[in-house]
Structure 1
Amino acid sequence: MKVMRILLGYTLLCSQLCFGQSKLHFIVFADTHDRSLGQTNLKTFHDLSSSIGFVNTIATYAGLQPNLLLYEGEKCNPKEIDQLLTTLVVGKDDVIFFYFIGHGWNNRQNNYPSFIFGNAYTDRATLETISRNQYDIYRRLISKQARLTIVIGEACNKERSDSPPVISKREIEIMSPQPYDPLKIKALFRNWSGGFLLSSCQRNQFSYSDLKGGWMSVAWQNTFTELCNDTYKRKVDWQLFLTSVQSKTQKTAEKNEQKQMPQFELSILPFNGSTPVSNIIPKSNTPVSITNAPCPSIDSYVNETALAGIREDLPLLHEMYDEIDSDNAKEYAGAFGLFFQNQRNFYNKLGSMVFYEATGIPDKCRPTFDKNTKWVFDSTNEIYQRISVINKYTSNPNKLVQQARSDLPSIISRLEEILEKFDK
């Protein structure tokens, strides 16, 4: 045992001497003041950032100098995240570890949630301004070209019109602490270049928690305990680690008769001291085109998540049209007003949403793209104008019913045309 302690001390000393200047930028945003999830979020926040928490374990065993950037309670707000993303300075051998704990929702930009930095129970217009999309945060952080960038979000990924998740009070298993293997932890955080993002659930799923913490955060802790202890004999890498987090979270959900499956996007390479991080920074969701290559098809730039949003709304719009009746005008006006409130921003930006982040189009291809997609923007502009006109009469339900009877067929027809063209 004495020999083992000497070897462990030597390993840690060597790590700190060899990599003493490298930092671990450990960033946690936690909505610990939320009226429904505050105590659960506080538990996860403590597990991550306390003196005996995850950050101390990584820093100690991987030989990284911790730079703690902790935002909980009132500090979990949009001003702080925007300032951090603008001012954070990192070194080329540093590690960025970002973790968000709070409410989230999907605004149909992509399959990842938009985190709510502030009051999750505010009106829809304010919600749009205080939310930041996880994929956008990831891209901004990885563009700083630290050696390794990790962005994790524990937040729901459904529409904001859905009911909030129920906090389960059933027991979930947390593995007993085991002696860590310093070489495994060091390998995870020192031997890879690039980054990954992980969200606690897929689109249209809730992110569940109970009094012991978020289900994914517990799965993360258990995976770390299982794979990084000195009795686990297999080689550990991030693909294995993240797949284990997925599996453990899913099994917890199944035990609690719920559905939750984390998702991740992994963009890393083995690091040998010279791997250029810039080679694996995601520029956008669109294909990269060589200057002399043929122009990609329009389909290459279509945002599948936006199409999924249209598919989800069409049955509701059909139902609204089928149920138009002057006898239920007041109730109908209320239902349409709620639909408009929830989806106003989506339909206002639908044209650009369909081709979300189509900024990678080569200059030579742009004129053809603009010409061939003009009909889409004409249709989406018409859709939003017609929806807005109907909503204008919410205070006059009988007039709203008349307007809906006139405009809904055109709205539905335009949306179906977009799906017919691009939904492959």
Structure 2
Amino acid sequence: MTTESVPASEDLLRRLAPQVLGALVRRYGHFDAAEDAVQEALLAAARQWPAEGRPDHPRGWLIRVASRRLTDQLRSEDARRRREETAAALTPRDAFVEPPPGESRTPAEDDTLALLFLCCHAELSPEARIALTLRAVGGLTTAEIARAFLVPEATMGQRISRAKRRIKASGAPFGIPHDGRDQDQDQGKEPDQDPHGAAERAERLADVLQVLYLIFNEGYTATSGRDLRRADLAAEVIRLTRAVHVRLPADGEVAGLLALMLLTDARRDARTAPDGSLVPLAEQDRTRWDRAAISEGVALVSDALTHTPLGPYQLRAAIAAVHDEAASDEDTDWAEILALYEVLMRLVPGPVERLGHAVAVAMVHGPRQALVLLAALDHDDRLAGHHRLEAVRAHLLEMAGDRAAARAAYAKAAGLTLSVPERRYLQLRAARIAD
């Protein structure tokens, strides 16, 4: 233990929770019971660490405590015995320890990565896979996941509960699925064809990538709270996506997603002013962008577009690259962005893609034409009550010179978002128009 009294960091516990859960599921199975044990260990840390000091190896401490809670639950539901296990939490650490300083777990050893694939098992529906992974691996609350899916919180809670029960009943193995090609390639052999295994992994990989994308979006722009972003969440999901890319280096969509994250996250330091307020892309100081991340992202997406089948993540990354490579907002090649959106919408005609397309149309052909496109989204239930639709509408109305309508749309968007920085930004835009 450290000698000083150190509070249990909410960010640290959020980051460690999926790693601890992965370790327990790998060792014991019992997904649902393991999650309960991890939650108890996190509560124990929140109580004990402020008074007794943070342990030298927080992850090992949490795994040890959670393991004891889980084994106790598997033996008996007796509450007295669980309380006794809490008192034993601070015994000398065992084999569950953090890697030595300067070392890290390899992708093959990363329980969190295996947990990703477990949550995306074929026994679950696509919606359930994504929701469960966001909860177990991403550490998002049920309310946050519900907002990401644009569904009621109660609906999402039921979906997650059913997914846990289905995982438990399926007896799904803990690990990353193989299709017979990985081992052959590692041994220098010609890969065997296993269509069933390849199809299963491809399906689960698609859901894994969508989950990683949603978690990154929540980390980059938090849907609620006082902070614009959750840096720990964004950093963790980039790490996980790198791990998937290392394991599947020839997959163009994995490379495209990693590129998209790097190209987007490269702007993080310029997105907020010193007071924490939001700075829109057009007004950001581009000298503060991470040029190394941009170079890596551009190289990844360029290689993927050249050598692999075209996919949505590659196109999204290409759009981000056009923004990042422009010397200024005025130098942005909006015609190229519009062309990329046209292709993207043929692959994924979703509401978010249509919003981005409308902005690109406004920049190339003018806001009036874009507002016509936007009106068609008013009847899309997936965007009902979402602030982004009104925020884009306000921006287009402001471009068109309709100040009164723009002010009303900004005010409406501000009332819909739960993010404090976004709300303040939208309120400020409305106030500026009023002046």
Q: Which TM-score applies when normalising by structure 2? A: 0.27
Which structure is richer in relative contact order (CA contacts within 8 A, separation 6 or more)?
A: 1
Q: Which TM-score applies when normalising by structure 1? A: 0.28
The structure with the largest strand share of the pair is: 1
